[in-house]
Structure 1
Amino acid sequence: MSELAEQLAAGGLELVELVDPLVPLIPPRLANAATSFPPTAEPVPHSAVELEAPDLVAQANSGWYQLASEGGLFGTDREFLVAVEQTGEWWWAHVRLAQSWDVMGRGAASILGRGQGHPGFVMLSLDGSVIVVGNVSQSSVGSTLARDPSRNAGLREFAPQLADFPDVSEQEKAAIGRWLQNAP
């Protein structure tokens, strides 16, 4: 776990603990899909910075923080969950945002993406009601927010389909089932 703590610390995330995989939270892969199923016709909250921006990482960090703060990602002491891969399975790590952080730069270069300025993360509020996904499109880098995934009919309909994908492990299938059974 010390290697994971070091990787998270690169982006300014302090590891509190790994979440028990039996806790009925939305699985990370399903959470990542949440932004593809907007529950209303209203625009999905997001922050984006053009790839060519000279201060791409600083702007993307600022946009992520504003979206996460205003959107309700952070709990007490700026704590939340972030998806991490451990022994071939993705699940949640409970983290705290440090005073000094760089999620879109050093974090994306370490464990939260595919390199500096190229995020690829999924974050979840402690109560499971807010998801923030960091992503890269053809022309921009940014973050997208989804609220109340358990009440999102499109996402709930997609969940059993995801469980049938051939690359979904038995652990992930079970996690999808627990989430569906325990979601309001």
Structure 2
Amino acid sequence: MGHLADDREQEECRVLMKFWWQLAMTYQEVTETDLDRHVSRAKREAVQELIEAIRNSPEAIDAWLTDAPRRFPPVQDRGYEAHRSSVSRTDDEVAVDLARAGIKFIERIATEISYPLPASDQGPASCGAEHGRFDSEPHEIVHVDALDMPAKVNTSWSRMANEFGLFDEDREFLLAVDYAGPDTAESEPRWVRVRLGEEWDLAGSGSSTLRSHFAGVFTERFVPEFTMLSLDQEMMLNTTVWGDATVSTIVIRPDRLG
């Protein structure tokens, strides 16, 4: 049970991350009781000092960051990585979950993937039209709680996937999958090769692989969020949830510019 010490550190980090989100978005899940229960006094004091620094000046923030390594030293692994590997999802579990959406799992990709993005650390949402970005039509954008959300998301995704060349001749493509289990705090992103079945429903499937965790800020219903890549890696598709609680699809296809 040596991993439990690391689990406590992970829980502390989870509570602090929710707390920061709460400060930024009036997200009211974390209470003072939660902070008292899960976060050490030393870290709470450091967090309070950062809040004051943010309210004060950029220089105060820089000073806090300079001191951060002392306040938040690296945690020595005491078995957490071994515990994490034991609770990661298997290919079979991912395959069963994706089948709910009408997606057939083929294989996990072990080779390096290239992205049609202007920079390796830039996501589709931060790309512009000059990078080959194409967005859902205005009438295809839908609120997470709208009754027709699943139908609209499916229709928009299908149109853009076909129009911009996501599929090969066998309706195969790459899908980004998080292999982390429900009890792990860190993500384990991987690319898998999949095939779209004749009958499918991405937005109404309830697949945990396709579920948006960010949407949980706005609603308790299942809302999809996922990233896909064509096999030739010339086209990336991202169906995403935005800060205004709407869902839409983005395609990045630089060779369609002009």
Decide whether the 8 Å contact of 1:32 with 1:133 is kept in 2: no
The alpha-carbon deviation at position 123 of structure 1 amounts to 0.4
Which residue, 90, 98, 101 being the options, matches 1:11? 101
**Any idea what the Cα deviations from partners look like across 1:14-52, whole Å, max 9, x if unmatched?**
0111111x324339xx58712312251887332422335
SS in 2 for 1:118: coil
Within 5 Å, which residues of 2 pair with 1:4-153?
4-20=94-110, 22-26=111-115, 33-40=123-130, 44-46=134-136, 47-86=140-179, 88-106=187-205, 109-114=207-212, 117-137=222-242, 138-148=244-254
Q: TM-score, normalised by structure 1?
A: 0.68
Structure exhibiting the larger radius of gyration computed from Cα positions? 2
* Pairs aligned (count): 147
Which amino acid in 2 is paired with 1:54? L
Decide whether the 8 Å contact of 1:121 with 1:135 is kept in 2: yes
Relative to structure 1, the CA distance from residue 132 to residue 117 in structure 2 (aligned partners, 3 Å threshold; closer, same or farther) is farther
Which amino acid in 2 is paired with 1:67? M
Relative to structure 1, the CA distance from residue 144 to residue 41 in structure 2 (aligned partners, 3 Å threshold; closer, same or farther) is closer
Decide whether the 8 Å contact of 1:8 with 1:14 is kept in 2: yes
Decide whether the 8 Å contact of 1:57 with 1:117 is kept in 2: no
The alpha-carbon deviation at position 53 of structure 1 amounts to 3.1
Identity of aligned residues (%): 32
Decide whether the 8 Å contact of 1:35 with 1:44 is kept in 2: no
Which amino acid in 1 is paired with 2:164? G
Q: Which structure has more strand as a fraction of its residues? A: 1
**Any idea what the Cα deviations from partners look like across 1:90-142, whole Å, max 9, x if unmatched?**
121000001111111215x4211237552221100001111111111214212
Q: TM-score, normalised by structure 2?
A: 0.50
The alpha-carbon deviation at position 148 of structure 1 amounts to 3.4
Cα distance between partner residues in 1 of 2:226 and 2:96: 17
**Any idea what the Cα deviations from partners look like across 1:54-99, whole Å, max 9, x if unmatched?**
2210111011100111011111121110001235421210000011
Higher relative contact order (CA 8 A, sep 6+): 1
Q: Once superposed, what is the RMSD of the aligned Cα atoms?
A: 2.9
Q: Which runs of 5+ in 1 are unaligned?
A: 153-184
Q: Which moved more, 1:123-132 or 1:30-39?
A: 30-39
